[in-house]
Structure 1
Amino acid sequence: MSGRTYQQEMAANGFAVIENVFTDKEIDILIGIIERADSSNETFRKTKDLFAIRQFLKEVPDAAHAIFTPGLNAVVKELFGTGYQVVKSIYFDKPGDSNWFVSYHQDLTISVKEKADLPGFGPWTVKQQQYAVQPPLTILESNFTIRIHLDDTDEQNGALRVVPGSHNKGIYRPETIDWDKETEVSCKVRKGGMMIMRPLLLHASSRTTNSNKRRVIHIEFSNQELPAPLQWSELMQ
Structure 2
Amino acid sequence: MTDLNQINAEGFAIINSVYTENEIEKLISLIESVTENNIENNTKNTTFRKSQDLFAIRQFHKELPQTLPFIFNQKLKSIITENFGEGYFITKSIYFDKPEKSNWFVAYHQDLTISVNQKLEVKNFKNWTVKQNQFAVQPPTAILENNFTIRIHLDTTTKDNGALKIINNSHSKGVYKVDDLAIENETICEVEKGGIMMMKPLLFHASNKTTNNERRRVIHIEFSNQQLPNGLEWSEKTVLKN
Amino-acid identity (%): 56
Aligned to 2:228: 226
Measure how far apart 1:117 and its partner are.
1.2
Q: Distance in 2 between matches of 1:48 and 1:126?
A: 25
Provide the TM-score with structure 2 as the length reference: 0.94
Counterpart in the other structure of 1:11: 8
After superposition, give the CA deviation of every residue in 1:57-111 in whole Å (9 maximum; x if it has no partner): 1111111111111111011111111011111110000000100000000000001
Matching residue of 1:27: 24
State the secondary structure of the residue aligned to 2:93.
Answer: strand
Over the aligned positions, Cα root-mean-square deviation in angstroms equals 0.9
**After the TM superposition, which parts of structure 1 deviate over 2 Å for at least 4 consecutive aligned residues?**
none
Task: Measure how far apart 1:166 and its partner are.
Answer: 0.4
SS in 2 for 1:208: coil
* Deviation of the 1:149 alpha carbon: 0.1
The question of 1:215 aligning with 2:217 is answered yes
The Cα offsets for residues 25-57 of structure 1, whole Å up to 9 and x where unpaired, read as 100000000011143311100001000000001
Q: What is the Cα deviation at residue 219 of structure 1?
A: 0.3
Aligned to 1:94: 98
**2:2 is paired with a residue of what secondary structure?**
helix
Equivalent position amino acid for 1:200 in 2: L
Do 1:105 and 1:203's aligned partners in 2 also have CA atoms closer than 8 Å? yes
What TM-score, normalized by structure 1, do the two folds share? 0.96
Q: Distance in 2 between matches of 1:233 and 1:88?
A: 8
Structure 1 residue runs of 5 or longer lacking an equivalent are: none
Residue of structure 2 equivalent to 1:48: 52
Unaligned runs of 5+ in 2: none
Instruction: Tell me the CA shift for residue 128 of structure 1.
Output: 2.1
Q: Does 1:65 align with 2:62?
A: no
Question: After superposition, where does 1:1-237 map in structure 2 within 5 Å?
Answer: 5-37=2-34, 38-39=37-38, 40=43, 41-179=45-183, 182-237=184-239
CA contact (8 A) 2:165 2:187 kept: yes
- Matched position secondary structure for 2:185: coil
Residues 153-207 of structure 1, C-alpha deviations (whole Å, 9 max, x = no match): 000000000001000000132111223xx21100000000000000000000000
Q: Deviations over 1:118-158 (max 9, x none)?
A: 11001101122211100000000000000000000000000
Residue 233 of structure 2 aligns with an amino acid whose one-letter code is Q
Is the contact made by 1:12 and 1:165 (CA closer than 8 Å) also made in structure 2? yes
Equivalents in 2 of 1:193, 1:159: separation in Å?
13
Contact persistence 2:156–2:216 (CA under 8 A): yes
2:118, 2:136 → 1: CA distance?
9
- Equivalent AA in structure 1 for residue 202 of structure 2: L
